[in-house]
Structures are given as C-alpha cells and as structure tokens.
Chains A and B, each alone.
Chain A
Amino acid sequence: MDVLGHFNYWVAIALAMVGLYAVTARGHLIKKLIGLSLFQTAVFLLFISIGKVSGGTAPIIAEGFTVYSNPLTHVLILTAIVVSVATLAVGLALTVAIKRTYGTEEDDEIEALDHAEDEQ
C-alpha cells in the first residue's frame, strides 16, 4: 500500500479522530465545540485535497497552462465553512445560555444539577 502517497488522507483522518475524541472525552462544553470544529475542518481538508490534480494550477484560463485543479470542491467547502461557523455560533450561544442558567459549563456538574432537581 502506498502510505506516503496518501498522506492527505492520513492528515484528514488523524485530525478527524482528534476532533471526535475531544467531543466524546471532554466534559467542558466549549472544549467539545473545539473538537467538533476540528472534526469538521478535517473533512474540509479531505474535500479540498481531492480537488487537486497533479501538476494542475489554479483554475484561471491563461496561456501556457493546460492542466487545472478542480475548483468545485473549493466552492463546496466555502459553503460548508459557512455552515460550520454558524453551527459553532449556535453552539457557543447555547453554552453561554447554559452557563447563565446552570452556573457551570461542565457536563457532569450540569447532569448533577438536573439530577438534584429531579429528586425534589
């Protein structure tokens, strides 16, 4: 198997796993969001790297160039970046609201507060 030739996939996979691990293993709500953003960014890298054509240049028609990289994946990812920023914004807004009402942004402390409320 050609390990080095696929290094773009290795980078994307490693970054995605780091992100997913942070989402699941961390209890702090903001750290979870950082993990989520990392995960999404890894996917963006994957998309952009598959648009690269070996020896291709930027897709602007000019004399002397015949091979161009595929610009479509870049455009798709521009949209996806907007989506991911919006997701992050909603997530942070929710975290602020949680901090305001619960007084904490630690997952297990919130869980304990809710549990205490159920007992009453």
Chain B
Amino acid sequence: MITSHLPVLQVIVPMIAAPLCVLLRRDKYAWALATLVTWAILAMVSLLLVQVINQGEVIYHLGGWPAPYGIEYRLDALNTYVLLMISAIAAVVTPFAAKSVAREIEPHRRHLFYAVYLLTLTGLLGIVASGDAFNVYVFLEIASLGSYVLIGLGPKRQALKAAYKYLIQGTIGATFILIGIGLLYMMTGTLNMADLAERVGPVADTRPVIVAFAILTVGILIKLALFPLHLWLPGAYTHAPSMVSAFLAATSTKVGAYLLLRFVFTVFGTDFAFGKMPLMEILMPLSLIAIVAGSAAAIGQKDAKRLLAFSSVGQIGYLALGVSFATVTGLTGGIVHIFNHGLTKGGMFLALGCVAYRLGNTRIESLYGLGRRMPLTSAALVLGGLGLIGVPGTAGFISKWYLVQAAIESDLWPVAVIVLLGSLIALVYVGRLVEAAYFHAPDTTAGEVREAPASMLIPTWILIAGSIYFGFHTELTVGVAETAALSLMGSAP
C-alpha cells in the first residue's frame, strides 16, 4: 500500500522534483511543478494527520531496517502538526510566487529558484519527520543551504550580505548541533531519538551529556533566532525575495522551535532540562527580553519588511516563553503560537510582497495612502497586524491567552505583565503601518497604482483569513497542540 510509505514520500517527492525543475528550464513549467508538488505534499500530510490522530503514532523504517540500526521516521501529534503547518504554508505561498518571482528574479535564474525552493522544503520536512538525530542534522543543513541561496537571490545587493551573514551564523549553529549529537553518541552509542531518550537517563550526570545539552540548545537557539542569537534574522528577512521572506518567516524558525521541543522534552526529558539544568532560568529572561526589545526595535524601522522582521524576533520570544514554563498550558501556548504566528506573519509578508510588486519597494513612506490605492492589500496588512497584537478574534489572541494563563498558573505575574506589554508595543508598530496606509496623503509622484493581481491577493487572503478563522475555531489547532504538549510532558493518554 502506498499510504504506508507516506511518511517518507512527503520528503522524497520534493527532493526528486527539485532536479526536475532544473531540467524543465522554462520558469512557467518549473513553477507549475512546484505548485503541484506542494499541494501533493499538503494532501499527503493531511492523510498522515488523520492516521496519527487515529493511531497515536506512525512509525516508518527507512529501507525496512529496524530502529535503532536504521533511520526511523516517527510521527506523533507534535511533528505532524508542524508538518501540516509547513506544507500548508508552502501550498499557499507557491501560487503567489508566479508573479512575484517573475518581478524580482532574473529570467535565467527562475527555474533554479524553484529547484532550490523545493530542496529547502525537503530539508524542512525532513528535519521534522526524522527520528534520527544525525539525519536531522543533515536535513537541517539541506534546509539551511537552500535558504542561504534563496535569500541571496533577493533583488538588492544587500541580500548577498544578509545571506553571507546567515551562512556564517547558521553554519556555526548547525555545527554546534553536530557537536552535541556527537557527544550524545559518544555516551549512549545511539542516534535514534527514542532510543537516546531511554539511554541518556543513566548517564545524565556525566560531563559530556551536560555539555551536549548546553551546546545543542545554543545551536538550536541560533536556528530559532532567539535574542541575543537573532542577528542574522532581520537582514535575511528584509532583503530576501518577497515570497522567500513569507515562506521562511512562517516555517524555518518554527522548525527551530520544533527542534528545541524535541531535544529538550523527548530526548533529554523535563527532569533533566528543567531540574538539573537551569533551562527555565535561561530561556525565560531571554524570551522576555526578545519580546520587549524585538518589538521595540520594530517601532523605529523605516522599511515595512524590516519592521515585520524585528516583530518576528519579538514573536519568537513568545514561542520560547511557552517552552520555558515547562507546563502543559505553556507548551500548548508555544505550540499553538508556532502555527498561529506562521499564518499571520506569512500572510503579512505576502501582503508586503503585493506592495513590492506594485510599488517596487516596501519603505514606510511608500505605503502612504495605500488604503485608497490598494485597499485589499492594506486590509490584509491591518488584519494581520491585529493578529500580531493579539486582539480577541484573531489567532494571535489564542496563543497569548494560553501564555498568560500559563504565567498565572506558575505564579509568575510579572511574566504575564510583560506578555501584555509586548502586545502594547506591537500596537505601536502595527499602528505605524496603519497610519501610513490610511492617514497619509498618497505620494502622487508614483503615478497610478492599482491593486495587486488576483494570483497574489488570493494566497495573501487565505493566510490572513486562516489567522482569523483559527481565532474562532480552535478545535484543530489547540486540540492537536494540547495532545502534543501532554505527550511531551510525559503524561500522554
């Protein structure tokens, strides 16, 4: 049965489609193939989610080799949820790419762009699906190398600098992860995560395991871009092509969050990470600083894309904050925020992609009078902005609600206050976008500006509508996140 191979197919299909894109040469064909592939992956992951909900866990042995000797793909509620998010974003963003990429990337590079894009997608899906620590590292590097190239393809020369910076910092992060995996292998003799989880316990007091934990966490935090390891992020998101900003903002840091959850809770276990090691004492202040400083830095930006990039630094703080509570409510909030922030920020970057398509840049002054000239795009920006603030009725509210609840449960009132303070700061920077779009006379020198084409508006609105829909209907998002949080905390039914 082909359905029994779904766990690996969703990784292999984009991997095989990538070289086909190179062979197709015509950018239209490459785009069509990429769109087809991303929708196929979304279908596959949806089937997997049904399987996982019914069976609890889907285990796949690559090449039929039993774990721990062979590589194992182990899908539970957590990683199927993240897979669903990645594949849904990819399926929505790829149709958007047709017009956006044609505007921003030179003709002879477009089919290569789609090839690299599919490879990046392969890497991201592989990291999440794999249950083998070294396999995770390899996929991590595939995804990272792909994103360096995608970012470097940005329209301005600063894109090259941003890509180089990300390459240096990203490689240091990935190599840290490799050291951590090596030390774990040295002490346990296994690379399979489930097997590692069992064997780490008896040797948890040895120095290599403690070092492995520290160094893995730092490596993952670089990938997650948690303050103060976020320095690569603003440049990369600002200068990347519009479609890449949306795709990476919605997926790549979220995969970092997934890795953090997987290593901290599944491999090392709560007792080790939060009992013996001071993970909470380190992660929580950093997240809170990220929330306040990242959001505050967003206020002063002159470029709307850069503003959203700094806002991402702040929102990543919320993700990490959810992890740092080490309670079911906190984790639920963090995991839900992976999904909700992905939708919201993806939608907003797509809206800015529409702006860049019509105006050629995303400077705040260029947004003046946008509400009249591109009403649908501006409305999408505003609704997405409400999600970033966490206004009730948006998906952003749900995750913040859980985070505030978790803070109160843990008797950490100041933390709850800072979460709300973060929302207030978000109100200011979103306010700047709204002010520019609705309360300024349009810049008449730009000439006639029309609304963005439908092929770009529809994907934007799908994501924004999703961020509103999941603000009211939380059965899927919160339900699955809660199951995942319960199983991470080790009290799975």
Where the two chains meet, the residues of A that have a C-beta atom closer than 8 Å to any C-beta of B are 20, 23, 29, 32, 36, 39-40, 43, 46-47, 50, 73, 76, 79-80, 83, 86-87, 90-91, 94-95, 97-98, 101-102, 110, 114
The 3 closest A-B pairs by CB, nearest first: A101-B157, A83-B141, A50-B186
The 8 Å CB contact of A40, one of B138, B149, B158, B171, is B171
CB distance from A40 to the nearest CB of B (A): 6
The residue on B at minimum CB distance from A101 is B157
Q: Which residues of A contact B368 (CB under 8 A)?
A: none
Q: A90-B145, A98-B161 are in contact. Are A36 and B168 (CB under 8 A)?
A: yes
Q: A87-B145, A87-B171 are in contact. Are A47 and B158 (CB under 8 A)?
A: no
Give the total number of A-B pairs whose CB atoms are below 8 A apart: 66
Q: Does B148 contact A (CB under 8 A)?
A: yes
Q: Does B51 contact A (CB under 8 A)?
A: no
The residue on A at minimum CB distance from B134 is A76
Q: Is B175 a contact partner of A43 (Cβ separation < 8 A)?
A: yes
CB distance from A63 to the nearest CB of B (A): 26
Q: How far is B167's CA from A29's CA once the two chains are assembled, in angstroms?
A: 11
Q: Is B148 a contact partner of A94 (Cβ separation < 8 A)?
A: yes
Q: Is A95 a contact partner of B164 (Cβ separation < 8 A)?
A: yes
Q: Is A94 a contact partner of B167 (Cβ separation < 8 A)?
A: yes
10 examples of A-B residue contacts, CB within 8 angstroms: A32-B168, A39-B175, A43-B178, A73-B182, A86-B145, A87-B145, A90-B148, A94-B167, A97-B152, A101-B160
Q: Does B172 contact A (CB under 8 A)?
A: yes
Q: How far is B134's CA from A20's CA once the two chains are assembled, in angstroms?
A: 23
Q: Does B185 contact A (CB under 8 A)?
A: yes
CB distance from A4 to the nearest CB of B (A): 18
Q: A87-B145, A90-B149, A95-B164 are in contact. Are A114 and B175 (CB under 8 A)?
A: no
Q: Does B9 contact A (CB under 8 A)?
A: no
Q: Which residues of B contact A102 (CB under 8 A)?
A: 157, 161
Q: Which residues of A contact B186 (CB under 8 A)?
A: 50
Q: Is A46 a contact partner of B179 (Cβ separation < 8 A)?
A: yes
Q: Which residues of A contact B172 (CB under 8 A)?
A: 20, 23, 36, 39
Q: Which residues of A contact B171 (CB under 8 A)?
A: 36, 40, 87
Q: Does B468 contact A (CB under 8 A)?
A: no
Q: How far is B165's CA from A29's CA once the two chains are assembled, in angstroms?
A: 10
Q: Known pairs A87-B171, A114-B161. 8 more at Cβ < 8 A?
A: A23-B172, A32-B168, A47-B178, A76-B134, A79-B138, A97-B160, A98-B161, A101-B160
Q: Does B163 contact A (CB under 8 A)?
A: yes
Q: Is A90 a contact partner of B158 (Cβ separation < 8 A)?
A: no
Q: Which residues of B contact A97 (CB under 8 A)?
A: 152, 160
The 8 Å CB contact of A50, one of B134, B141, B158, B185, is B185
Q: Which residues of B contact A43 (CB under 8 A)?
A: 175, 178-179, 182
Q: Is A40 a contact partner of B157 (Cβ separation < 8 A)?
A: no
Q: Which residues of B contact A95 (CB under 8 A)?
A: 164
Q: Is A91 a contact partner of B164 (Cβ separation < 8 A)?
A: yes
The residue on B at minimum CB distance from A35 is B168
CB distance from A9 to the nearest CB of B (A): 10
CB distance from B457 to the nearest CB of A (A): 31
Q: Which residues of A contact B137 (CB under 8 A)?
A: 80
Q: A86-B145, A94-B152 are in contact. Are A110 and B167 (CB under 8 A)?
A: no
Q: How far is B158's CA from A110's CA once the two chains are assembled, in angstroms?
A: 9
- One digit per residue, 1 when the CB lies within 8 angstroms of any chain A CB and 0 when it does not, for chain B 173-186 equals 00100110010011
The residue on B at minimum CB distance from A110 is B161
Query: Counting chain B CB atoms within 10 Å of each CB, which of A32, A50, A83, A91 scores highest?
Result: A83
Q: How far is B178's CA from A46's CA once the two chains are assembled, in angstroms?
A: 11
Q: Which residues of B contact A73 (CB under 8 A)?
A: 182, 185
